[in-house]
Homo-oligomer: A and B are copies of this chain.
Amino acid sequence: MLRRGSYRVCFPARSQRETSRGRAPIWQPLRGPRTTPHPTLRTFSLPVRAPMKERRSSTTNDGFMTRRKALSQMGIVTVGLAVTPVPGWPAPWFSQDAVVPFTDVPDSFDGLRAGGGLRVAQDLRNLSSWTTPVEDFFKVGHYGYPEVDASTYRLALTGLVRRPMTLTLDQIKSRPRVQRTTVFECSGNSSRIFHGMVGNAEWTGTELIPLLEEAGPLEDTREVHFWAADSGTEEIRGNEYEQNFARSMSMQAIRETNPIVVYEMNGDPLTLEHGFPVRLIVPGWYGVSQVKWMNKIELSADRLMTRFMAKDYVTLMGREVDGGTEWIETSVTRQRPKSAIARVTRSGSNFTIHGVAWSDGTPLDRVEVQVGDGAWRSAELERPDDPTSWTWFTLEIPALPSGEHTLVSRATDSAGRTQPEHLDLKRTRWENNELFYRSIEVA
């Protein structure tokens, strides 16, 4: 258990053993420079307090009521929905309720900022809009943030195609326009950073599949390689090579996810940090697949095995088989089902637990909330039409005894995948969807 105080949250280096054990977030003091830190997000200054582990004041399990049910009984459940065209918590409701602060997150915590002060992740406690504002949406640049000139920008469709194409930004914008509101998180998002590296946004662009069809994939095509403008030097087999960021997807994965070639985020042109002028959005997949500053789409017979495809963003996890442990490395692709409690509000003696949940697009079956050692209770879900958007949940609690309470939520998708309590055998930070505990104190 860490004492209250100032710590720096940092990602372990690639070459270090990376653990994700137990209930407590790994708030660890910075121990000097790391050789290969997480791109861009090297360290964060974050005063933290470890979450509560004791359960001395567990609440009653009875008498819980969802917010919607309670509001429905009051005859006002449609008011909020009338105010906002998309589902979510209407701002007026927020203002009526007092926020109950988390006791394991200091009030002074103001979000996650990179060295230069740039906010690179959102503060979930301030979650108040269905879509994440551009400035709050998490930002990761693997080789920095390249400035691309829109007037000379070209997107190439090349490789195993019958009709190679080169599109200007205007030509991309003149293609059939689609909008999707989807959520994605950095696969390194975890309780260490208050789960701030996640966001839901409205993306506007044109679908990838018709573009590929127009270029005419040749029979040998197995994969599509997405190349970006950002580049850096990598050591490969003892020598240094200039490498552009790239990710690849199989044709099967492309058919399943229906990616978009995107030029607007929340109604405005992409900002520099979010991939101006053009990025890829792969609904339901982790952030690393959402290639920013994308300038080349290459159809290939070969499976791409570059650093960010095959060496980094590889999850190492063990599994118990016949009394032994098998250790398996897999690629970071589709998001695991996950939820996080964002805030708790109080109105009189009633408490409401608010949070967000998401998946890889497999519809969520339920989100359950546990207070102390109490039973898991199903929360009310504010479901979007698009399952690749995030889902908000609320659970009303009529009363809580005084004392400190531990709160936690868990999401389960329709395929039966539930957030695990512990990922004891996961040895990399990627894809951490462990339960996320928060604490409040009732006077």
Contacts and interface: CB of A to CB of B under 8 A. Distances in A.
Q: How many copies does the complex hold?
A: 2
A16 B237 contact: yes
A94 interface: no
Given A16-B238, A18-B237, A310-B314, A326 B252 contact: no
A9 to B, nearest CB: 19
B15 A244 contact: no
A328 interface: yes
Interface stretch (A106-114, A299-307, A344-352): A299-307
B326 A304 contact: no
A412 interface: no
Interface stretch (A83-91, A184-192, A329-337): A329-337
Contacts of A385: none
A311 B302 CA distance: 15
A23 interface: no
Interface in A405-441: 415, 427-428
Interface residues of A, number: 42
A15 B301 contact: no
A63 to B, nearest CB: 39
B330 A238 contact: no
Best-buried of A16, A18, A242, A305 by chain B (most CB within 10 Å)? A305
A236 interface: yes
Given A243-B327, A327-B242, A333 B302 contact: yes
A220 interface: yes
A187 to B, nearest CB: 13
Contact of A311 (B222, B243, B244, B310): B310
